[in-house]
Amino acid sequence: EDKVVQSPLSLVVHEGDTVTLNCSYEVTNFRSLLWYKQEKKAPTFLFMLTSSGIEKKSGRLSSILDKKELFSILNITATQTGDSAIYLCAVDIGYNTNAGKSTFGDGTTLTVKP
């Protein structure tokens, strides 16, 4: 059975701290790994990773994938209260190169205190 496990389940930090969120997976037919931020209801896309060792960056957020060890990390530096959200990791199991169904982890709830 395909499985995605995120850790920690929750995290409370203060503004300015750096956090690392973890995602490990066991799936068949891996296509890509995706990170989303979920604040209210709609998950919003952060990164898509397909190759090992290549860091993706967007502002204070960065992510990297290790396909040998089957995990990914999401780093957030200089956290702000606006970073408070649930961070979801999903592995895309491809039907084809353009679409695949996603298996999600249960998320890490990040709370950033002022």
Choose, by CB under 8 A, the member of 1, 69, 99, 114 that binds another protein.
99
**Minimum distance from residue 86 beta carbon to another protein (Å):** 9
| Alpha carbon separation from 110 to 11, 29, 34, 46, 93 (Å, rounded) | 5, 30, 18, 15, 27
**For residues 14 and 57, which CB has a smaller minimum distance to another protein in the complex?**
57
Site string for another protein, 2-31 (x = CB under 8 A): --x---------------------------
Choose, by CB under 8 A, the member of 64, 90, 91, 110 that binds another protein.
90
The closest alpha carbon to 77, from 112, 105, 114, belongs to: 112
Q: What is the residue-wise DSSP string for 19-71?
A: EEEEEEEE-SSEEEEEEEEESSSSEEEEEEE-STT--EEETTEEEEEETTTTE
Q: Is the CA virtual torsion 30, 32, 38, 44 positive or negative? A: negative
- Regarding 43 and contact with another protein (CB under 8 A), the answer is yes
Choose, by CB under 8 A, the member of 28, 41, 59, 69 that binds another protein.
41
Residues that bind another protein (CB under 8 A): 4, 34, 36, 40-46, 48, 50, 88, 90, 95, 98-99, 101-107
